[in-house]
Structure 1
Amino acid sequence: MKIYHKKVIALGLSILAALFIFAGCGSNNTEKSTDSSSAQNTADGNTLDKIRKSGVLVVGSSNDAPFAYIDAKTNEFSGVDSDIIKEIARRLGVKKVEMKQIPFENLLISLDNGSVDMVTDAMYIKPERLQKALFTNIWYTEAEAVVVKKESDIKSKSDLKDKVIGGQKGMTFLELADKWKNDGIVKDVKVFNSQSELMMAVNTGKIDACVTDGIVAAYTLKQNSSLDLRILSPYEPEASGKIGAAVRFADKDLLDAVNTELEKMRNDGTLKKILEKYGLPESYMVLSTDAAVTKNIK
């Protein structure tokens, strides 16, 4: 009987120990989950209030000149998208806008997990992206350009046959390049992680051409005269798109506030002045409020 009781007691102690272990594991898991989601999707509707109280709006960008980048000389957040969001923030009573550098393909992921408040990096408003985030009204439009070496025998799109071209990971223009490959317009497509790598690959002859952002291409060639490159012309763009900033689905208060100030800037001419400052052609400007609504984007 004593042996039996000892076995029962031992068994009971084992069960209690196991319960404590499981309880401890459960507590740790809950804590980890809380930590990982502490910044995620502020669904209480007070996002703008929190930003105003902190005095800082954090935006995500791939450090992409001339859209949203840190100027190497001044160490200031600069660019087309930068100027737009900084003016909006000023009007909303937010003292500072900080840029967090994130690879372009990870921008919406970082937005969703709460690493940034917004994404402002010349991002096309596309149906698949509208499934991942809310987008502001349209800031401006743009299209792709094909960049080749100055002495290249490529004079038109038809000359790209049997050529190897490049595109940047995560960008709409890489999708266009892949389409050209599937359609037999180009021989192959190489993928690069950044605009600088992409342009340098053309410059050094690793690839014959690249398809990239038209505004970025023009800005890069203007800023860096050492690049032996030119933009293919004549060329009819195929992937023109509408640009806006992205916010989380839960942050409708922030979206509405940003859109309200954006439309004021559109109406009072501030938006046009910013776009002109960076040399955007009038065909890229969206100056009509009716044309700025993002719903029904196709």
Structure 2
Amino acid sequence: MRKLTVMGFFCLFFMGSCFAAQGNSLVITTENYPPFNIVDPKNQEISGISTDKVRELMRRAGETITIKAYPWSRAFKMGQEDLDTCVYSTTRTAEREALFKWVGPLVKNNWYFFARADDERQIKSLESMHSYVVGTYHDDAVEKYLASNGFKTDPANYDGENPKKLIAKRIDFWATGELLGLYILKEQGMTQSVKPLFKFNQTEMYLACNLKIDQKRIDNMNKVLQAMEKDGTNLAIERKYK
């Protein structure tokens, strides 16, 4: 019978610790949400403001990670249910607070209404939107916020569908993140057809981690992210995408 090595004996005696160490790397899930998370459709490479911050954060924190892109509903569910998994860019809301351990904020996100360029309705307040149908993105924080507050929403499976729905008058207005909306319009060549109307909210987006991840790791990530803010790293990353 082969003799046990010291490490082998240690693993048998403290078996739980050895298996825990094997699962120490993190899976980071995300979606295509430019310019914060940008998934290249050709090679699936992931970049963007939040992505670059997460990569640098994890490098400094000494974490081994794999970043994978999925539809948002799946990415969010994985972060909530799968061990050693985090999801970004996740809007931190009261409803989600107890679902994750939070690292951030990574970025601020202005929520905007968009309208057809020829729309002459003078609407400047959130309250005035109650009588209109607003295009949103399914399971997104914007959609949940508007729907829970009694607005008439028409969620799309992909936010990029909403400009076309707007032009076809299937919806009255479109609600989304300001930078994402402008990115989509530029990508679709519709910057002259659709205009930003007004900002109705500002939120912060985080890296949201599974509740079973050790709190010491979460605290360390937050400490590292704060250092990145102080030394100008975060600002430098943001400027790359402007």
TM range (shorter): 0.7 to 0.9
Question: What is the total number of aligned residue pairs between the two structures?
Answer: 223
Contact 2:81 2:210 in 1 (8 A): no
Give, as a single letter, the amino acid of the residue that structure 1 aligns with 2:240.
K
Give, as a single letter, the amino acid of the residue that structure 1 aligns with 2:111.
E
Q: Who is 2:108 aligned against?
A: 141
After TM superposition, give the deviation of residue 259 of structure 1 in Å.
Answer: 1.4
Deviation readout 1:15-69 (Å, 9 max, x if unpaired): xxxxxxxxxxxxxxxxxxxxxxxxxxx9999579721xxxxx4211122222223
Q: Who is 1:267 aligned against?
A: 230
Do the aligned partners of residues 195 and 116 (structure 1) sit closer, same or farther apart at CA in structure 2, a change above 3 Å counting?
farther
The answer to whether residue 53 in structure 2 is matched with residue 68 in structure 1 is no
SS at match of 1:138: strand
Q: Please report the TM-score for the alignment, with normalisation by the length of structure 2.
A: 0.78
SS at match of 2:220: helix
Deviation readout 1:115-142 (Å, 9 max, x if unpaired): 7721012x21112211111111322222
Structure 1, unmatched stretches of 5+, are 1-41, 52-56, 280-298
Q: Who is 1:166 aligned against?
A: 135
Fraction of identical pairs, as percent: 19
Q: Who is 1:50 aligned against?
A: 24
Q: Who is 1:88 aligned against?
A: 57
Q: Distance in 1 between matches of 2:238 and 2:17?
A: 33
Map residues 2-41 of structure 1 onto 2, 5 A cutoff.
none
Q: Looking at both structures, which has the greater relative contact order when contacts are Cα pairs under 8 Å and sequence separation is at least 6?
A: 2
Structure 2, unmatched stretches of 5+, are 1-15
Q: Who is 1:244 aligned against?
A: 206
After TM superposition, give the deviation of residue 236 of structure 1 in Å.
Answer: 4.3
Q: Which residue of 168, 175, 188 corresponds with 1:204? A: 168
Q: Distance in 2 between matches of 1:146 and 1:45?
A: 49
Contact 1:165 1:211 in 2 (8 A): yes
Q: Distance in 1 between matches of 2:179 and 2:199?
A: 15
Deviation readout 1:241-275 (Å, 9 max, x if unpaired): 12211111221243123212211211110011112
Q: Distance in 2 between matches of 1:199 and 1:172?
A: 19
Whose helix proportion is higher, 1 or 2?
1
After TM superposition, give the deviation of residue 153 of structure 1 in Å.
Answer: 2.1
Superposition RMSD on alpha carbons, in Å? 3.0
The answer to whether residue 231 in structure 2 is matched with residue 231 in structure 1 is no
Q: Distance in 2 between matches of 1:47 and 1:195?
A: 39
The answer to whether residue 190 in structure 2 is matched with residue 194 in structure 1 is no
Contact 2:113 2:199 in 1 (8 A): no
After TM superposition, give the deviation of residue 167 of structure 1 in Å.
Answer: 1.5
Whose strand proportion is higher, 1 or 2?
2
Do the aligned partners of residues 147 and 45 (structure 1) sit closer, same or farther apart at CA in structure 2, a change above 3 Å counting?
farther
After TM superposition, give the deviation of residue 162 of structure 1 in Å.
Answer: 4.4
Q: Distance in 1 between matches of 2:153 and 2:17?
A: 41
SS at match of 1:170: coil
SS at match of 1:143: strand
SS at match of 1:265: helix
Mark the structure with the bigger radius of gyration. 1
Give, as a single letter, the amino acid of the residue that structure 2 aligns with 1:149.
R
Give, as a single letter, the amino acid of the residue that structure 1 aligns with 2:195.
R
